[in-house]
Structure 1
């Protein structure tokens, strides 16, 4: 049932998750779902837990806390890129499931074992999750997905851009975005490393 609800949301967002639509996805009558869940809220709790379950847990055995958190953040980005509708839902549930609780405990465990104070661990989680969520949201709304898209969109903007009035933006497009090998998706790793390095400095 949860897999069906996720498919519905992948197509139409959170608002599309209704008892009727999930039942249609399963090929059953809506009333039959009530034998398995009490209401729509339980389905929403379940899909959030399923999304958390798909994100790789950071390894408590890692020699470098940054490596462990980097793996977790990259996995979260990959999972949420497939289910960007979950971004606004994941922190809204009052009844977190077991996968959600295990996930948060594992992240906090890596940070605490690395020597973060409790307040610093809370700061780190908030900062990293805000970065991952913001990047996923930005990616989901960008008008580009491939290098060819970048060239097409940037070239179109450049044609209408008054270079003498907006020299820095022109420079960014011509000398950066339109250069061979440019890949906007690499910005994720760069920004994440900056955050982890800053947290490491604070930890010390």
Structure 2
């Protein structure tokens, strides 16, 4: 980030200015290295000045989430419900990709923030205005899970140890493939994306959209059948 400005040319401190600066700092440092002291330095104020606008780090994190989620673009007016939900979720993913720390912070909060509730309320409204029952909408929201906010749990953990180079690494890879042949088969069949969140594995966007479309197609089919949870065995 740029050097903070001197006292003579600083904009007045406000809650919104603090939150926007906090989001920018988290974009630069990640959530783990983020601190109130570092934020105060970036803003050119003493840390206590922040507490006139936010009660503490928890309130600051909630506000940061609301800034990020508040940037999710709404769907096109008049779009069919399935198209509109897809647009809302992919817009959320686009925002979360610009703020890669945000997914873990959203999951860490004890409850949904106002902007998160507003986004969920909008998606629910899209389903209901499209004619889906409250019952089916309830279960659809559960099925979509965190995809509603643009991210999803990955099958394989990230950040694991890099494979050993040379013959030792090749031998280890062959041993793993022999022990888990079906996993190796599927891994070899995957399209690869160097920037993938699954560690040099699958194409993240393709996998996200594939699962999203699979779920939306299923929800559409159940809606067409007049599905009700009370009639499910």
- Shared topology, TM-score over 0.5? yes
Match of 2:42 in 1: 25
In the alignment, structure 1 residue 38 sits paired with structure 2 residue 55:
yes
- Asked which structure has the greater CA Rg, the reply is 2
Match of 1:197 in 2: 217
Give, in angstroms, the shift of residue 200 of structure 1. 1.0
Match of 1:146 in 2: none
Q: Mapping of 1:1-204 within 5 angstroms? A: 1-10=18-27, 11-13=29-31, 16-59=33-76, 61-62=78-79, 64-90=80-106, 92=109, 96-97=113-114, 99-131=115-147, 135-138=151-154, 142=158, 160-162=173-175, 166-174=180-188, 176-177=189-190, 184-185=203-204, 186-204=206-224
The 1:139–1:95 alpha-carbon spacing in structure 2 relative to 1, beyond 3 Å, is closer
Structure 1 or 2: more helix by fraction: 1
Give, in angstroms, the shift of residue 73 of structure 1. 1.2
The 1:7–1:136 alpha-carbon spacing in structure 2 relative to 1, beyond 3 Å, is farther
Paired residues, what number?
190
Give, in angstroms, the shift of residue 139 of structure 1. 9.4
| CA contact 1:58–1:69 (8 Å) conserved in 2 | yes
The 1:140–1:51 alpha-carbon spacing in structure 2 relative to 1, beyond 3 Å, is farther
Distance in 1, matches of 2:74 and 2:145, equals 14
The 1:59–1:121 alpha-carbon spacing in structure 2 relative to 1, beyond 3 Å, is farther
The 1:103–1:178 alpha-carbon spacing in structure 2 relative to 1, beyond 3 Å, is closer
Q: Deviations over 1:87-134 (max 9, x none)?
A: 34436355833x444322221110001112223222222322334669
| CA contact 1:55–1:76 (8 Å) conserved in 2 | yes
Q: Deviations over 1:158-186 (max 9, x none)?
A: 97224555443443344x2378xx96221
The 1:90–1:60 alpha-carbon spacing in structure 2 relative to 1, beyond 3 Å, is farther
The 1:189–1:157 alpha-carbon spacing in structure 2 relative to 1, beyond 3 Å, is farther
